[in-house]
Amino acid sequence: MTQMSCTAAPAAPGMIEQPLPLSGLLALAMTGFIAILSETLPAGLLGQISAGMQISEAMTGQLVTVYALGSLLTAIPLVTLTQGWRRRPVLLLAIAGFLLFNTLTAVSQSYLLTLVARFMTGVAAGLAWGVIAGHARRMVSPAQQGRAMAVAMIGAPVALSLGVPAGTWLGELLGWRMTFALVSVATLGLVVWVLCKVPDFEGHKPGQRPGVLHVLRTPGVLAVLLVIFTWILAHNVLYTYIVPFLAAAGLAASTGLVLLTFGIAALAGIALVGAWVDRHLRNLVLSSLIGFATVALVLGFVGQSALLVFVSVALWGLTYGGAPTLLQTASADAAGEGVDVAQSMLVTVWNLAVAVGGLLGGLLLTHWGVASFTWVLLLLIGLALLITGSAHRHGFAPGARVAG
């Protein structure tokens, strides 16, 4: 067979790359960007999809739900199943899933078929997120792994802060079907990009394929997963129901601007974490959680000031932006050879926290009102701080990272 001339040569394990292989890492980031964009586009195009398919907005909202279910239910078994496969083909399989099922979403006239397509897009995302972190780490030397992860993870906050508003704007301009089609066109370009710039690696050998229970018992892994659940649960309770907080300050009509502030601050948080994660991972996690607790207090007790709301949201974005990098780096460091399985667990726990956050926030708002949010957020953040503080030997060790 004739191979594309731009195919990246496989990198030797442990090789040192100076500087960072930015093009390949950015291709991984673009994979994450498309995953998040694929997940959230229906929310931004809710009215258009509802009208176009002649279904209710509540039914349209389930297009997001089934996507999350696809990732939640299949990430661990798929990543476990593909541990022995060469790594770039697994990545390309996930990207091909985005291409196929987003295209199917763009042309489907059946609500049931669209639900199936959305579920399968979520399956592709679960596989992608289980591969990206391990692939990024293998592209660089151990001393560069934290920074490489920061670059590879930048796609998610960029998609949330810029991609979703741009997708909504394109939907208004070209229609929701064409917007999904354009995502597929970008995905096709990503396939070429990965073939050109992302090196391939061997799969894990039979003796290096730890099972789920083995990885879960590895010191530090469970602690990281618990911090992920409590932190992301707290974040999603607030993020999903931010409008009631904004209404108290008379900013309900400025939700888009507030979320843009969050997104821009999140990008700054990624930059800071990328610079410091290899030396100060533990301190960054602790300071991020303390910053988030401060945000919860301000919004809960003095959130009537528009200025304080914007400052708090900026601090929130700053402390949350680097969370994916921090938590995936901590998970990967703790798991060692079980990094891919650990990342699939992370994907599962993360999506579970997102789903529970929506449900918990809805219950709190319905039965106790927005004033109850602050106490629940402080409880969850306090638990995350307690777990992080106690995991000083494994999971969130002090000092510079030591990765193999």
Q: How confident is the model at residue 6 (pLDDT cuts 50, 70, 90)?
A: low
* Amino acid present at 382: G
Provide the pLDDT for residue 207: 63
Residue 15 pLDDT greater than 80, yes or no: no
| 232's tokens | 């992301």
Note the pLDDT tens digit of each residue in 97-132.
999 999 999 999 999 999 999 999 999 999 998 899
**Whole-Å CA distances, 321 to 93, 180, 222, 373:** 28, 26, 22, 21
| Contact in structure between 313 and 261 (CB atoms under 8 Å) | yes
Q: How confident is the model at residue 387 (pLDDT cuts 50, 70, 90)?
A: very high
Give the mean model confidence (pLDDT) for residues 74-90.
91
Domains of the chain with bracketed CATH? 22-208 (1.20.1250.20), 212-390 (1.20.1250.20)
How far apart CA 125 and CA 240 sit, in angstroms, is: 21
| 96's tokens | 């091909």
Provide the pLDDT for residue 24: 95
How far apart CA 71 and CA 124 sit, in angstroms, is: 7
Element (H, E) at 237: helix 221-240
Provide the pLDDT for residue 348: 87
Nearest to 53 by CA among 66, 42, 37: 42
* Centroid of chain to Cα 74: 16
How far apart CA 23 and CA 32 sit, in angstroms, is: 14
Give the max Cα distance, the chain. Answer: 66
Note the pLDDT tens digit of each residue in 215-235.
888 999 999 999 999 999 999
What number of H helices and E strands is found in the chain?
A: 17, 0
How far apart CA 343 and CA 325 sit, in angstroms, is: 12
| 192's tokens | 């070429």
Give the mean model confidence (pLDDT) for residues 183-208.
90
Provide the pLDDT for residue 3: 42
| 167's tokens | 């997708």
How far apart CA 252 and CA 235 sit, in angstroms, is: 19
**Whole-Å CA distances, 158 to 47, 163, 325, 366:** 23, 6, 14, 32
**Whole-Å CA distances, 359 to 107, 230, 236:** 31, 14, 10
The DSSP letter of residue 322 is T
Note the pLDDT tens digit of each residue in 331-366.
988 987 777 788 889 888 988 887 788 778 888 888
Provide the pLDDT for residue 353: 86
How far apart CA 36 and CA 125 sit, in angstroms, is: 8
Give the mean model confidence (pLDDT) for residues 371-383.
94
| 190's tokens | 């990503």
